[in-house]
Structure 1
């Protein structure tokens, strides 16, 4: 399973994503944004997802990073 961190524009966006994840059986945890990353709202979602993350992107998501060996690889960025 792949691990990701999603950054959001707002706290409400993070909460919506958490609800969506729970409804769709995606393991997800809200947490403070790691210092290495920046965010507008300071809250991120750490989640596990096997499919293509572009399938779950919505307008609330600012960036998504895949976590590989304790490093963050940018896989999605809102334009």
Structure 2
């Protein structure tokens, strides 16, 4: 199952995303942003999702990275 790291603009956005992901049956874990990545708020979510990541995207999300062989591949960036 693909794993992603989701970065947020605010702490409250991360908490809202965590609730939304869990309601959809997605395994989510809030954690500090990995050092290789940067973030405005310092909180990220690591999720496992067997489906489209786009159904979870909202205005609170800054970036989404796919974790692939211990590397981060940018999948989504809010512009």
Is residue 25 from structure 1 mapped to residue 22 from structure 2 by the alignment? no
Q: Residue 21 of structure 1: CA displacement? A: 1.3
CA separation in 2, counterparts of 1:17 and 1:55? 12
* Number of aligned residues: 79
Shift of 1:26: 0.5
Q: Partners of 1:68 and 1:45 in 2: how far apart?
A: 16
1:69 corresponds to which residue?
A: 69
Structure 2 gap ranges (5+): none
Which ranges of structure 1 fall in alignment gaps of 5 or more residues? none
- Give me the CA root mean square deviation: 0.6
User: What is the CA-CA distance between 1:51 and the residue it aligns to?
Assistant: 1.2
Cα distance in 2 between the residues matched to 1:23 and 1:50: 15
TM-score, with structure 1 as normaliser: 0.97
